Amino acid sequence: MDEVAEWSAPDLLIGWDGGSHATRKSTRKGGEALNKQSKQDLVAELAERLKVTKAAFLADYRGLNVEKATELRRKLRAAGVEYRVVKNTLLRLAAKGTPAACLDAELKGPTAVALVTGDPVAPAKALVEFAKANQAFELKAGMLDGKLLKAADVKALAELPSREVLLAKLLGTLNAPTGNFVGVLAAIPRSLVQVLSAVKDQKAA
């Protein structure tokens, strides 16, 4: 299968939510030049998004039907996440020189990518919960502030309280004795330690 045909996929799974890119099956006659230009534009656009991305999560979506794909997109959109299926070669090109470059070795097989510019915990929770309920959807890896996360690290990240929850707990202690503040800090799940430890080990390797 040539690269032009391989880029085609179900419309519901492709394209940024609300984006301008439309995907159509191209032919060798008259469509190849336009398709090539579209790919170049897509790589440039994706590279700009990756430069400001705080976290990114990769997943294998094989076997996911249109109904489930639509459900996932709706959940991620509610969490402020951009989600799409993208060809590995294009994502690899776009990721060069960005925090997502660490994902290079994980770009194998069908790839869906979720990009996060804000708090990464809520999107991680949404993806992990969806994967638990849908065996056809498998988390492959992730990136947090330029550091590679394995699937287990993404699951650990999903167990953390969100930024809003932590802030609420912190505000609740401002007028309380100092001991309560220490208690809130101690209540942060061990998952955070696990995530940080995993990243530290990968950096040292």
pLDDT for 21 equals: 41
98 part of a folded domain: yes
Q: Does residue 161 surpass a pLDDT of 70?
A: yes
User: Three-state DSSP class for 55?
Assistant: strand
d(CA 138, CA 9): 18
- Quote the pLDDT of residue 78: 87
Domain count for the chain, please give it. Answer: 1
- Sheet with 112-116: list strands edge to edge: 82-85, 112-116, 55-60, 138-144, 147-150
- Beta bridge partners, 149, equal 142
14 within a domain of the structure (yes/no): yes
Residue 102: CATH number of its domain: 3.30.70.1730
Question: How much of the chain exceeds pLDDT 90, in percent?
Answer: 50
Q: Is residue 180 part of a domain?
A: no
Q: Please report whether residue 105 resides in a domain.
A: yes
pLDDT in tens, 59-74: 999 888 999 999 999 9
Terminal alpha carbon distance of the chain: 38
Domain-embedded: residue 68: yes
Give the C-alpha separation, 42 to 164, whole Å: 34
Under a CB-based contact definition with an 8 Å cutoff, are residues 123 and 79 in contact? yes
pLDDT in tens, 34-61: 488 888 899 999 999 999 999 999 999 9
Position 139 in a domain: yes
| DSSP letter, residue 151 | H
Q: Does residue 164 lie within any of the structural domains? A: no
Domain that holds residue 153: 3-159
Q: Which of 9, 3, 98, 2 is nearest to 46 (CA)?
A: 98
Residue 66 within a domain: yes
- Across the chain, what does the average pLDDT equal? 76
